[in-house]
Amino acid sequence: MKKHILLIDNNKSELTIFMAALKEIQGNFKCSHAESSEQALAMLEYIQPDFIFVSHNLPHVNGLQIISVIRNEPVLERSKVYTYTEMISEEISKMARLLGASGCIEKSAEISWLIHLFKEIFDGQLMPGFAILKNPAQAERLQLKSDHST
């Protein structure tokens, strides 16, 4: 059965990276894209994606607000919803969990990292419950940067 994925993100370069990672995965996927919360909510009136990735930084609203709306729609209760952000803060992860997100994913330009994540998510290998998925290479670079600034 074809898995339907919805990416809600207004950043075109993120869409390019996201799609490149999906193309590398062996699977039967259909991907839709919304550039705004308004466009996403209109699309969700007629589609029921299996997986929804919501950028935290959207025009007019943030991703957590979209997750709240999605989680209040009974027809979308089976959708796995992830906030997709540049940096996962404790506040974002706490709010995403409270709103019913499946997890938080840190954006990465490293396609290999996204391929790894997508395989785990789409194959159901992640443990049930809430997941915080940070790119270890990105975290290591941030640590090195802060070590040099002291």
Question: Between 55 and 86, where is the model more confident?
Answer: 55
Question: Between 51 and 143, where is the model more confident?
Answer: 51
Please report, rounded to a whole number, the percentage of residues in the chain having pLDDT higher than 70: 83
Query: What is the pLDDT averaged over residues 25-29?
Result: 81
Torsions phi, psi for 15 (to 5 deg): -60, -45
Contact 75, 69 (CB under 8 A): no
Q: pLDDT tens, 115-131?
A: 888 888 887 755 555 66
- Distance separating alpha carbons of residues 92 and 24, to the nearest angstrom: 29
Q: Which two tokens stand for residue 139?
A: 């975290």
For 40-48, which contacts have Cβ atoms below 8 Å and span 24 or more sequence positions?
Answer: 40/6, 40/8, 40/66, 41/66, 41/69, 43/6, 44/6, 44/70, 44/73, 44/76, 47/4, 47/6, 48/4, 48/75, 48/76, 48/78, 48/79
At position 136, the amino acid (one-letter code) is: P
* pLDDT-based confidence at residue 142 (cuts at 50, 70, 90): very low
Q: pLDDT tens, 100-111?
A: 998 888 888 888
Does residue 150 carry a pLDDT above 60?
no
Position 149 scores a pLDDT of: 47
**pTM of this prediction?**
0.84
- Distance separating alpha carbons of residues 112 and 20, to the nearest angstrom: 10
Q: pLDDT tens, 43-73?
A: 999 999 999 999 988 888 888 999 999 999 9
Angle between helices 111-122 and 12-24 (to 10 degrees): 60
Does residue 5 carry a pLDDT above 70?
yes
Position 4 scores a pLDDT of: 94
Domain locations in the chain as residue ranges: 3-148
Position 10 scores a pLDDT of: 92
What kind of fold does domain 3-148 have according to CATH?
Rossmann fold (3.40.50)
